Chains A and B, each alone.
Chain A
């Protein structure tokens, strides 16, 4: 894909950040080097330190005064995308774990393969053998997601590295997204027969900070995932 092709259809890169503003700025720089045509939107989910912006700042920035979670951040980004006629939205994490160079690949798939959603499935996220419980839970998520979507869900339903087109955005806009909404988004899109494409990515090391996911969060996420699956199962059986 060349520059002109991207120019025709506007691309928005969305970076949700929670206490990762330093690495988020590094990612902005990296994106500007790799994809100067794309617009960037940072949503600060109530971090302790805020980013100073001015008219010359090369990105859009919105700060939530308190921590609302990824669901609300995603909603704000999707609203922005729809309101300003962006054709594609790519979400990348602020901690530097998602490779910026793969963004172009995601946009390519969205455009050339006519995909409604492209997910960057992490190939090395189960490498830490000491996280047995974590890996088992992830396998459980992936297995159940595949079962409920008749094998259409991506191999890594927890991946936050994804791209969507306007069609998917219009569906997501009217959902109620929870704190960690990735499995919810992928399963919904699969069950609505949207075209979901996967690309393999290698997860990089975190630039700064620790993960915001505590054991309590993980438990809540597990509970939420099961409730969501159950409701989806009932809904799909009613159709």
Chain B
């Protein structure tokens, strides 16, 4: 049951991060999903064997390693998309603030 213990510890770490508001809850959802998938695969030996034969992997535990890599890649991609969206929103805000600030300058120059 070591794999379940490890996954439980990761979940606990994520919960602590969420509790102290160090990470945003929506951004951790992909983590949550991937931990469930890994947990399910980790305890289900038959599924590992089936996956290994499907992907023609001779050493069955390697399936979990590949799955972990795949999930990590997915997580990084999701975070990159999230970060890009946040950056675009931030730039929109910066542009709006600049517009307002420059508008103030125009008014103060007109009223000098």
Contacts and interface: CB of A to CB of B under 8 A. Distances in A.
B91 interface: yes
Given A56-B112, A72-B94, A79-B98, A176 B105 contact: no
Given A55-B108, A55-B109, A68-B94, A176 B88 contact: yes
B102 interface: yes
A60 B103 CA distance: 10
A84 interface: yes
Contacts of B112: 55-56
Contacts of A84: 106
Interface string B78-112: 00000000001001001100110111011011001
Contacts, number: 38
Interface in A84-119: 84
Given A68-B91, A83-B103, A176-B88, A76 B98 contact: yes
Contact of A75 (B91, B101, B105, B106): B91
A68 B88 CA distance: 12
B52 to A, nearest CB: 37
A76 B99 contact: yes
Interface of B: 88, 91, 94-95, 98-99, 101-103, 105-106, 108-109, 112
